[in-house]
A and B are shown apart, each in its own frame.
Chain A
Amino acid sequence: KAGVTQTPRYLIKTRGQQVTLSCSPISGHRSVSWYQQTPGQGLQFLFEYFSETQRNKGNFPGRFSGRQFSNSRSEMNVSTLELGDSALYLCASSLGQSHQPQHFGDGTRLSIL
């Protein structure tokens, strides 16, 4: 069974640009969560989608948005990039119930110049 796939693995952008990250969950998983990971801050929850509906979101500005498609694949978009957005962005999928474990991808390393 293929794991969670995130593309691209690495991305370099400049301030003011926008970026779209993609996540393909494990087959059969309908929940996708996104996290921002930075040194010292751990993982910060961005949002969670289930069957194309956002069920919860974290405390991030509106520049961070996401969506989920009917095949459960998800995209995350960040507009008007800032230097502070440099981070590892992790995607995790699960079957969708709170007690069920999340399965993480390798992440997308975003660097802002």
Chain B
Amino acid sequence: AQTVTQSQPEMSVQEAETVTLSCTYDTSESDYYLFWYKQPPSRQMILVIRQEAYKQQNATENRFSVNFQKAAKSFSLKISDSQLGDAAMYFCASTTSGTYKYIFGTGTRLKVLA
């Protein structure tokens, strides 16, 4: 069975600093996709970044990057130069190609301190 685990319920970071959110997953499949979604308070969930399992290169989107360790089944999100607007719940998610079933972690609440 596919599982996604986020072991940090809450994290804090000082504005302009860097923070890393952890995520581990488990799957027996070889073709899968990993995602990080952001849910700001009372606002819509939006995609932050995604990673194809077959790609060795870590995905990057501006200040957001991932550290994808396939053998360790780890998929952490690094936020550089943190901004107040980064404060939100962050969810790690995975899906296996062709199943159309998305598994989400329990989320990490990120607080950004001014």
Contact = CB atoms under 8 A, between A and B. Distances in A.
B102 A45 contact: yes
A55 B47 contact: no
Size class of the contact patch on chain B: 20 to 34
B46 A104 contact: yes
B97 A99 contact: yes
Interface in A69-94: 90, 92
Q: Interface size class for chain A?
A: 20 to 34
A104 B45 contact: yes
A91 B6 CA distance: 22
A47 to B, nearest CB: 9
Interface of A: 3, 31, 33, 35, 40-45, 48, 50, 55-58, 90, 92, 96, 98-99, 101-106
11 contacts: A42-B91, A45-B104, A55-B100, A56-B100, A92-B45, A98-B96, A98-B97, A98-B99, A99-B33, A99-B50, A106-B43
